[in-house]
Amino acid sequence: MEIVASGIRPTGNLHLGNYFGAVKSFLQMQHEYKCYFFIADWHSLTTHPCPENLRQSVKTILSEYLACGLDPEKATIYVQSDVREVAELYLYLNMNAYLGELERVTTFKEKVRAQPDNVNAGLLTYPSLMAADIIVHRAVKVPVGKDQEQNMEMTRKFARRFNNIYGVEYFTEPASFHLSEKAVKIPGLDGSGKMGKSEGNAIYLADDEKTIYKKVMHAVTDFGPTEPDSIKSEAVQNLFTMMEVVSEKETYDFFNEKYNSCAIRYGDMKKQLAEDINKFCIPVRERIKEISANEAYLEKVVKTGAEQASANASITLNDVRRIIGFSCF
């Protein structure tokens, strides 16, 4: 069975965009591949989170992914910092990573512009840590967004470079598995094309009923269609896209017909959309509360996941040490 590896940054609650994007893809993949899903807490250190926030973020994201259906019986789920072999491989990859190529990475240059007072080595070597996360499990596929393609190319470069330096064919160059080919892109409530945490336009799976209602009712629209069957503006199309994934087909068709006949009332549509989103979120929200309160279960999941991930990673590191020349005796 092909191996898939993917990281999850502990950066807050999951929103609908996450669910219909990465999460649904992960839920499908866990039945089709041998999957390693990890919470990338080492990566988050580039922003210097305080210890309590880091611990809570890891617990939150773990609880939410489990509540959505990620199954530790089918996939290996672990916390990145629990698998020390990743850090060791990260060191070896950094020894063969060059300053110029790391500085040319687009995401690094964007971070430098965004946070000029915090340009740390972790930001610079993000691609080599990402590469270590992936190839430590000898993964052949990696589910990533297209914005991570340059980092994936760096991963392939580091794997290829290791093989060339030591005259081996040990690491496979992993292929990008774009989530967008399988996932629905959920737009933001502000009329933009993407729902996201930093954009402040997201509906979170853990949001209560009143919060969801308030957010949807404040969603951006326009003045309405001026002639039958007119093209929807981006903001209005966003509402219809959300309705398409959370509402019954009859509901979507009803409001679509109202729009096409210039009889739509956006207030009515928003009320219905808020009701349908809340209906969708209720079981997940309750499951999140249940799982996050079960400390023993969460501890069991990460402990078992760490054991499984470490066992697999240690095989790679033993081979790598031997290839480099460390196992003399």
- Residues labelled as active-site residues: 111, 194, 197
**Exposed, middle or buried by CB within 10 Å (0-12, 13-18, 19+), for 328?**
exposed
CB 131 within 8 A of CB 160: no
Of 80, 64, 71, residue with least CA distance to 5? 80
What's the half-sphere exposure (Cβ side, CA atoms, 13 Å) at 217? 11
- With tokens 């496979």, the residue in question is 172
> Which DSSP string do the residues of 298-310 spell out, in sequence order?
HHHHHHHHHHHHH
* SS3 of residue 133 by DSSP: helix
Q: Which helix (H) or strand (E) holds 216?
A: helix 209-217
CB 186 within 8 A of CB 238: no
Between the CA atoms of 115, 121, 122 and 125, what dihedral angle is there, to the nearest 10 degrees? Answer: 110
Q: Residue 37's CB: how many other CB atoms inside 10 A?
A: 23
Contacts of 179 (CB under 8 A, 6+ apart): 21, 22, 25, 143, 144, 145
For residue 66, give both structure tokens.
Answer: 């489990």
